[in-house]
Amino acid sequence: MGVTGTGRDVGAAGRHAGMAAGRVIFAILAAIGLIALAGCGRDTLGPRGGASHGSPASRPDADWVEIEHAARGQKVYFNAWAGDSRVNAFIAWSTIELRKRYGINLVHVKTQDTAEAVTRIIAEKSAGRDRDGSVDLVWINGENFAALKARDLLFGPFVPRLPAAKFIDFAGQPVFSSDFTIPVNGFEAPWGLSFFVFTYDSAAIPTPPRNFAELTRWVKAHPGRFTYPAPPDFIGSTFLKQALLSLSPGNEKLFAAPVSPAQFDEVTAPLWAWLDALHPYLWRKGLTFPPNGPAQRQLLADGEVDLSMAFNPSDARAAAASGQLPETARSYGFSSGSVANAHFLAIPANAKAKEAALVTINFLLSAEAQARKSDVRLWGDAGVLVLDRLPEPDKARFTALAEAGHLASADIPGPVLAEPHPSWMEALEKAWLTRYGAK
């Protein structure tokens, strides 16, 4: 573009100056774009992107050193329920440790409900994305595990390959091998153990209800002071299950098998009758429900309700340790029985960073991580290891916690109610939503 100095052409020159400026700005933009694209390309198309056919995870004979080597530099998208800030803080700690020790980049994908991750995996499958999926590791159990396993969307069996597997208490805890009656078969690794508890402030109500008959009387005597998380939140759904198991006793065989519609209506009739009678006496008259367990714990902390519920016997101790609930808070199980189950870690079949996912699971099962998870001041979730089988220094981590009174207990102080087949939970959630859900 020639520069013209004559007056007649100054207007045009100005216009050209403008265009040239535009071009320079655009060139800067293009450069930024190219750099960014290159960076993004490295992320998706680089040499270590994706488990190729020879990758250690895909060869059952690959030894652990090889897996750890391949895991270095991989990015693990860990889809984990993020409703509890203490759990999130624990995962944040794991992220730092994994980067330091194994060069793994753990990314906590914060889900509101594990079903979101299941949806994503199924959607990827139906779109033909058989590898390089967007979920590498998922915190899972029950109906979500059943859904993925039935569709062959899980990687494994991988549990026997983990060096930490030999310390897991498979013999003592049948729920580690049978998740909501579905055989685990090494497709998910047990991570923690829970049973269903109620939490209350002993300074506010000295004698909380200890079975469903007492609960009914108590709720009617104290209108507006009780509620439960809206199913399909897992705490809310578990409350429904526990009520069903207690209100329709003697049906263990029926609950252990897949649900049939005809039986469902008959067996659940007492549950719906009970809920219909209860709802007018609930918080907000049963017109709305807290979205999840921690939200109900906040309602308890705010004095809006007198009871909350959790899948963690250390719920009250942990919440008191963090200052959310007063020191007088207590958790307890119903004398009529508590639903108990385990929660697990699984790897989708189309996961991109399988090696790093394996190393992450093995780390989360290490005595150090398990002891930290059991510390009620940090999370307070009961562990899965046989302490007597651990080497002395590892065992000492747990004994020190126990002596200080900070170890989460795995002992259930009452009868255990076995989880029904996952199809019951799905049917219950659907029926609840039809009756009381979004209108």
Partner 1 sequence: MAQNSRSGSLAGAWPGLALAIGLGGTLLVATAGVLAPAFGWLPALGGTRPGLEPFVLFFSSPGIFRAMGLSLFVGLSATTLAVLCTHATLAACYTSRWFAPLAWQSRLVLVAPHVAIALSIAFLFTPSGLIMRWLSPGITGWTSPPDYLFPQDPFGLALILGLAVKEFPFLLGLAIAQLGQIQPRPALHAAASMGYGPLRAFILVISPRLATRLRFPVYVALAYAISSVDQALVLGSASAPVLSVRLLQWFNDPDLDARFPLAAGAVVLVGLTGIGFGLWWLGERVLAGFVRYGAASGRRMGPVDALMRAGAGLGILALVLTTIGLFGLGLNAFAAHWRFPDDWPAGFSPMIFADAMKSVAPAAGASAAFALAAAVFSVLWVLAALEASQFYPRLATTLHVLMFVPLVVPDISLLFGLSGFWSALRLDGQWMTVLWAHLLFTIPYSWLILAGPFRNFDEGMVVSARLLGAGRWGAFWRVKIPALAAPILAAFGIAALVSASLYLPTLFAGGGRITTLATESIALAQSGDRRLLGALALAMMVLPLIAVEGSALAPKWLLRNRAGLNGAPA
285-324: contacts with partner 1 (CB under 8 A): 285, 287-292, 294-295, 298-299, 301-304, 323-324
CA dihedral 75, 397, 389, 166 (to 10 degrees): 0
- Helix residue ranges, H only, 103-193: 114-126, 142-150
Distance CA 169, CA 370 (A): 13
How many CA within 13 A on the CB side of residue 316? 21
Distance CA 334, CA 353 (A): 42
Q: Whole-number minimum distance, CB 313 to partner 1, in Å?
A: 20
Distance CA 305, CA 92 (A): 31
Of residues 139-168, which lie at the interface with partner 1 (CB under 8 A)? 147
Q: Does an H or E element contain 201, and which?
A: strand 197-201
* Size, binding site for partner 1 by CB under 8 A: 87
Cβ contacts of 286 within 8 Å, gap of 6 or more: 227, 278, 279, 280, 436
Q: Whole-number minimum distance, CB 251 to partner 1, in Å?
A: 27
Beta carbons of 86 and 387 less than 8 angstroms apart: no
Q: Does an H or E element contain 86, and which?
A: helix 85-102
Terminal alpha carbon distance of the chain: 67
Beta carbons of 178 and 184 less than 8 angstroms apart: yes
Pick 7 or 250: Cβ nearer partner 1: 7
Of residues 21-40, which lie at the interface with partner 1 (CB under 8 A)? 21-23, 25-26, 28-29, 32, 36-37, 39-40
What is the pattern of x (binds partner 1, CB under 8 A) and - over residues 340-379? ----------------------------------------
Pick 91 or 358: Cβ nearer partner 1: 91
Of residues 244-283, which lie at the interface with partner 1 (CB under 8 A)? 283
Q: Whole-number minimum distance, CB 55 to partner 1, in Å?
A: 19
Pick 30 or 400: Cβ nearer partner 1: 30
Q: Whole-number minimum distance, CB 45 to partner 1, in Å?
A: 10
- The yes or no reply on residue 77 touching partner 1 (CB under 8 A) is yes
Of residues 176-235, which lie at the interface with partner 1 (CB under 8 A)? 223-224, 230
- The yes or no reply on residue 396 touching partner 1 (CB under 8 A) is no
Pick 94 or 111: Cβ nearer partner 1: 111
Pick 115 or 386: Cβ nearer partner 1: 115
Of residues 82-141, which lie at the interface with partner 1 (CB under 8 A)? 82-85, 88-89, 92, 107, 109-113, 115-116, 118-120, 122-124, 126-129, 132, 134
Pick 120 or 161: Cβ nearer partner 1: 120
Beta strands at 197-201 and 307-310: parallel, antiparallel or unpaired? antiparallel
Which of 16, 69, 210, 377 is close enough to bind partner 1 by CB under 8 A?
Answer: 16
- The yes or no reply on residue 171 touching partner 1 (CB under 8 A) is no
Beta carbons of 401 and 387 less than 8 angstroms apart: no
Q: C-alpha distances in angstroms, 86 versus 14, 315, 366, 397?
A: 62, 11, 19, 20
